Amino acid sequence: MDYRFYLLNSDGKFADMEEWNCASDVAAMERAARHGHAYGAELWRGDQRLSTFSGPMTRRAEQPGA
């Protein structure tokens, strides 16, 4: 199956995209979870967003006093 993994920038906008071919949604989700992304990412299959991943920079910005 074909997937698109979008890396987000500090404004939450698409900064980069990778196209993946994975055997299943589960395999794509596992790959996405292992992928490094500072500000977050989204995993898509066709026109369906499968998941959103927050990055360490996103979590830090959400903490009070950060």
Q: Where are the domains of the chain?
A: 2-62
- Model pLDDT, residue 63: 46
4-44 pLDDT per residue, tens: 999 999 998 999 999 999 999 999 999 999 988 889 999 99
Q: Which residues of 23-62 are buried (b: 16+ CB within 10 A; e: fewer)?
A: eeeeebbeebeeeebebbbbbbeeeeebeebebebbeeee
At 25 the three-state DSSP class reads helix
Residue 62 has pLDDT above 50, yes or no: no
Q: Which amino acid is at 12?
A: G
- Model pLDDT, residue 56: 82
